[in-house]
Amino acid sequence: MSRFPASELSYAQPNLNKNGGVGNLTIWEQIAFLHNTAGDAIHGNGIFLLFHRKFIAWFEQLMMEANPDFTGLFYWATEQQPLPSQWSKDPIWDHLGKAVGRGREIVGGPLENITFPIDDNFASPRSLIRDYDLNGSFLPSFASAASYKNAFARFGKDGYGHGYTNSTFGAVCNVCLPPDYGWADAAQNLHFTFHKAQGGQMSNYFSPLDFLFWIHHSNVDRIYHDVQVAWQGMGLPQEKQIYGNSYLDVNSESLTLKTPLPYFTEYTVDDVQFSAQMCVQYAPPVNGPPAPPPATKLATAPAQPFEKFTAAFWEKILVGRTPEQRAAHAASFEQFMAGTDEEVASGTPIDGNAPRSSMRIKNGRRSPRA
């Protein structure tokens, strides 16, 4: 607990006390509590990908210590099957529980009917919720492979993060994000679209309660790894591979190799920059097993168009920014998404990186070597 800044602890302590303290939480809840308490520091800035790389490796190690038969997480490459007609029929739901309607708890899976009082975002303790019906007529789409590829084409060739510039909004001059922000920003925002699509616990900082969190973030880390491979091939200088802001100062280029990670304060960015430092490698992707015939006929659900994030969302994510800065960031992401859709619709080739796992895939394994 002493690893958290006093300001974060003072916010989280009443909820923790109500639940009987850390010792009264399951390890599953403790991990989610950590993520929630550190939420403002590990989202909305350049430390996001680096913290979560360490976080999922740490989780894997905890699971292996608890169960020697656990050999590592797998990733779900949802960008390769972003349409409802693809992902809704995936057999993964037979293992992780099926969504049966907005605000309703999942059916099936190992966490069915297990409530989580530590998540205080609900009026009363709930088990896992996902805000759609797999058999429904209107399902969300996920960020596509084209979106991630275009993120690299638009921003990634210049490196990880973004620079800063003075921009005038009315009579006030602020230090703001430039219009073409950075690759890490685009990747983080694309990642958020999956959380938003799921709803329930996945839409707040207690999201590690849902095992979807771990296979999603393993995939985000894989995408980051593939981009790093592309950077190495380009000979991109180190100072461009770690560049941008951090939780230490969101309004300056404060992300460096010496920046300590939130919570894991004994580690710096230099310790976690590459997957190999986590003793993790990504196994070749494979197609999952075919889905069994559904008990009831699945509806042919049309893809839900990209729905803009609300102002409240950006306020929560972009802590420490002015309203003008949040508006500029939101506009950059929305313009990027709209531009990607236009290029895909027109058949315009997207000159992105060629990730190692560009084949048609559903999931693959992470392989901790330690």
Give me the tens of pLDDT residue by residue for the chain, a chain 370 residues long: 456 555 566 667 787 777 777 788 888 999 999 999 999 999 999 999 999 999 999 999 999 999 989 988 999 999 988 999 889 988 899 999 999 999 999 999 999 999 999 999 998 899 999 999 998 878 999 999 999 999 999 999 889 987 665 444 443 434 444 444 789 999 999 999 999 999 999 999 999 999 999 999 999 999 999 999 999 999 999 889 998 899 998 888 899 999 999 999 999 999 999 999 998 988 766 666 555 555 444 444 455 556 789 999 999 999 888 888 888 889 889 988 999 988 888 887 777 665 454 333 345 656 543 3
Burial (Cβ within 10 Å: 0-12, 13-18, ≥19) of residue 37:
buried
- What integer pLDDT is reported at residue 367 of this predicted model? 54
- What integer pLDDT is reported at residue 288 of this predicted model? 61
pTM of the model: 0.88
Domain positions in the chain are: 6-368
- What integer pLDDT is reported at residue 298 of this predicted model? 44
- What integer pLDDT is reported at residue 160 of this predicted model? 93
Residue 289 in tokens: 């097993």
- Cα–Cα distance between 313 and 333 in angstroms, integer? 13
Residue 370 in tokens: 């330690």
- Pairing between strand 303-304 and 139-140? parallel
Residues forming a β-bridge with 100: 133
- What integer pLDDT is reported at residue 166 of this predicted model? 47
| CATH code reported for the domain at 6-368 | 1.10.1280.10
- What integer pLDDT is reported at residue 324 of this predicted model? 84
- Cα–Cα distance between 306 and 253 in angstroms, integer? 30
- What integer pLDDT is reported at residue 37 of this predicted model? 92
Nearest to 59 by CA among 209, 212, 214: 214
- What integer pLDDT is reported at residue 183 of this predicted model? 94
Q: How far is CA 318 from the centre of its chain?
A: 15
* DSSP-derived 3-state class of residue 167: strand
- What integer pLDDT is reported at residue 11 of this predicted model? 67
| 223, 186 contact by CB (below 8 A) | no
- What integer pLDDT is reported at residue 8 of this predicted model? 61
